[in-house]
Amino acid sequence: MPAYINDIGKAAGLLRQSERIMVIGCSGGGKSTLSRKLSRGLDLPYFSMDKEFFWLPGWIKRSKDEERRLITDVVGTERWLMDGTGPSTFDLRVPRTQLVIWVRMPRWLCLWGVCERAFFHFGKTRPDMASGCLERVPDREFLTYIWTFEKRFAPLVIDGLDRHGPEVPVFQLKSRRDVNHLLDLLGAPA
């Protein structure tokens, strides 16, 4: 069982002290937006897994070997905030992480977030995506991934956190109100 924290005040205190933070969660839940705000508020270098590690221009997937090498280089440094779930790299990231923030929104909110993102960024590259990866309308496979995330993928996240960092604190944000409250406690703009 991961080392869950249930007190938002304690989580805010740990965030202020942490120099290596992972922000994870289902697509569309707001993890990238939160990560950018936390990065600015905590003055930590921000790394989007999609932008820096996973994708090359034009939606070309980077090789797994190169992806893992790039992640290893970043997690070996002393200060970072990394946005992205990717349990296949938990063996690299979790042992070096001091705190995990799990943006665990309801699936309807994640679906809304992805649709809203597609509407506002359609045909353009989002700030947290590799250049040349133009936003497109979400396909059925991606929507199914979001719809089934809690049932199919959350258990993999839990297992990976437990296996690679059972002592690493994990704080879950389950509503926009929780996110805004945490940002308020940190004095970061919501």
User: Could you report the per-residue pLDDT of 72-113, keeping only the tens digit for each?
Assistant: 999 999 999 999 999 999 999 999 999 999 999 999 999 999
* Span 127-138, pLDDT tens digits: 888 888 888 999
Residue 154 has pLDDT above 70, yes or no: yes
What's the mean per-residue pLDDT of the chain? Answer: 94
Residue 121 has pLDDT above 90, yes or no: no
What are the DSSP calls for 66-125, one per residue?
HHHHHHHHHHTSS-EEEE---GGGHHHHGGG-SEEEEE---HHHHHHHHHHHHHHHBTS-
Token pair for residue 129?
């995506």
pLDDT of residue 182: 96
* Span 160-183, pLDDT tens digits: 999 999 999 999 999 999 999 999
What CATH number has the domain spanning 3-185? 3.40.50.300
Share above pLDDT 70 across residues of the chain, in percent, rounded to a whole number = 98
pTM: 0.94
CA 171, CA 62: separation in Å to the nearest integer? 30
Token pair for residue 183?
């940002």
